[in-house]
C-alpha cells in the first residue's frame, strides 16, 4: 500500500528563502497514491448529497476534477479575474499586503445545488472563504470543504463559515 503522504516533496526556499513548498507532483504521478487521496475525499463526502464541486484555481482543479468524476457530480471552476469568458460573480479578499479576487460564472450553480469547495491547501483561509461567499451569492448550499493539506498554524479554519465540515487529509503543524 502506498503511503501517499510520503509522495509530497518538500522543496526548501521555494518560491523564496524561508518557505518550504509542498510539491504534489510526485503524488499526482503515482496512480495508487492519487487514487487513495480521491478515495479518502469520497469517503468523507460521499453521503453528503453533494451535486457540485467548486474547485479553486489551479491545483484545486486537479483534485476537484478527479473527485467530481468519482462522485458523478458537476465541477465549477473558481478562477482569478479575467479567466472566465461569461458573466461572473466576484469576491475580493484581503492578503497580507493588498487584496486578491476570485470569480465564478454567475450561472455555474443554482439554489438547488449542494456544494463542496475543493483546494490543495488551506493556509490563511482567504481564498476558501471568498469562494464560500461566491457560493452564498448564488444561493447554493455549502456542505463542506475538502483540502489535501492544511497549514493549521496559520489558522485558516477561523475564516471559514462556522458549522460547515472541513476535511483536511494532511494537517501540517
Residue 52 lies in a domain: yes
* Close Cβ partners of 17 (under 8 Å, ≥ 6 residues apart): none
Instruction: Find the CATH number of the domain harbouring 110.
Output: 3.40.50.2020
Q: Residue 59 catalytic?
A: yes
Residue 16 lies in a domain: no
Print pLDDT tens along the chain (173 aa): 469 999 999 999 999 999 899 999 999 999 999 999 999 999 998 889 999 999 999 999 999 999 999 999 999 999 999 999 999 999 999 987 889 999 999 999 999 999 999 999 999 999 999 999 999 999 999 999 999 999 999 999 999 999 999 999 999 97
Domain that holds residue 93: 48-172
- Is there a cis peptide before residue 43, judged by omega within 30 degrees of 0? no
Q: Which of 59, 114, 133, 157 is catalytic?
A: 59
* C-alpha cell recorded at residue 49: 448529497
Domain count, the chain: 1
Residue 168 lies in a domain: yes
Residue 9 lies in a domain: no
Residue 36 lies in a domain: no
Residue 59 lies in a domain: yes
pTM: 0.95
Residue 172: Cβ within 10 Å count: 17
Amino acid at each position: 500500500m502506498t503511503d501517499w503522504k510520503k509522495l509530497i516533496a518538500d522543496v526548501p526556499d521555494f518560491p523564496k528563502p524561508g518557505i518550504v513548498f509542498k510539491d504534489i507532483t510526485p503524488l499526482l504521478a503515482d496512480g495508487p497514491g492519487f487514487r487513495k487521496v480521491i478515495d479518502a475525499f469520497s469517503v468523507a463526502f460521499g453521503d453528503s448529497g453533494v451535486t457540485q464541486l467548486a474547485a479553486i484555481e489551479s491545483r484545486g482543479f486537479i483534485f476537484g476534477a478527479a473527485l467530481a468524476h468519482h462522485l458523478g457530480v458537476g465541477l465549477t471552476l473558481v478562477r482569478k479575474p479575467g479567466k472566465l469568458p461569461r458573466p461572473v460573480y466576484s469576491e475580493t479578499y484581503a492578503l497580507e499586503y493588498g487584496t486578491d479576487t476570485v470569480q465564478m460564472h454567475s450561472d455555474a450553480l443554482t439554489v438547488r445545488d449542494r456544494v463542496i469547495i475543493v483546494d490543495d491547501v488551506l493556509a490563511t483561509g482567504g481564498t476558501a472563504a471568498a469562494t464560500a461567499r461566491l457560493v452564498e451569492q448564488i444561493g447554493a448550499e455549502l456542505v463542506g470543504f475538502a483540502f489535501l493539506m492544511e497549514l493549521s498554524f496559520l489558522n485558516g479554519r477561523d475564516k471559514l463559515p462556522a458549522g460547515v465540515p472541513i476535511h483536511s487529509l494532511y494537517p501540517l503543524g
